[in-house]
Amino acid sequence: MDCNASARNVLVPLLRNVTLPLSTSTQSDGPTLVKLDFSSALLSLENDAFQSREGWLAFAHLLHAMSSCGCEVGFGQWNTMKYEPTRVRIESDSVDLSVRLYPNTQLDVWFNGNLFSYSTDGASSPNDAANNFLNWFTTTANSEPFYLVVDHIDTTVDDISQSATITLKLYGVYDVDSESQPLVNPNWIPNFFVKPDDVSAVPPAETSGLARIRSGI
């Protein structure tokens, strides 16, 4: 993949015309900060090079370089919003993930089009269910081709509902060449679907996740 050509012909036009800000805020020096979700835009890239590990590493390094140098992206040709992204800032290298489950929770987990099914059947307590899930998810995320690093932040047990909420962060595996952890490829961010039996639980078994890249004006 020609990194320079890809940046000029694919990345820059993509960032110029991203729309639908999630939120806006004003910094102390006056500029407006527009928070945007680039995941859907990145997932729309058809170039197979972006989907391979090597291609994604090069792409992630480029985003980091643009973030660290304050690279001007320029104004969109078709974006009719008053404020348009002109700079890229990576707010976090991690994907924040929260999972609530019960001793009998069953989940379908999608990684890049691949289905993995998980069941906590046999767990004797919410804490036991949380530990079983964490071990399984860490092993799955660390496997080829994802190589994601799972950082367990916290597990909170609700004795009343007998549920456990697990808070995690996902990182790309450490890259020796750049001496950093690359951004997580949006294709490799897991999507969770709770089996129907747990949907009616109160509170329901559920997951939520967030990855952050910001574009400033």
C-alpha closest to that of 13 among 35, 39, 41, 47: 41
27: pLDDT confidence band, cut at 50, 70 and 90?
very low
Query: What's the pLDDT tens digit per position in 38-76?
Result: 666 666 655 555 667 777 777 777 777 767 765 555 554
Listed residue (88, 90, 82) closest to 19, CA to CA: 82
Residues in the chain, overall count: 217
| Helix, coil or strand: residue 70 | coil
The answer to pTM > 0.85 is no
d(CA 11, CA 217) in angstroms, rounded, equals 17
pLDDT digits (tens, 9 = 90+) for 2-20: 555 555 566 666 655 554 4
CB 117 within 8 A of CB 109: yes
Burial class (CB in 10 A: 0-12, 13-18, 19+), 71: middle
3-class SS of residue 170: strand
3-state secondary structure of 11: helix
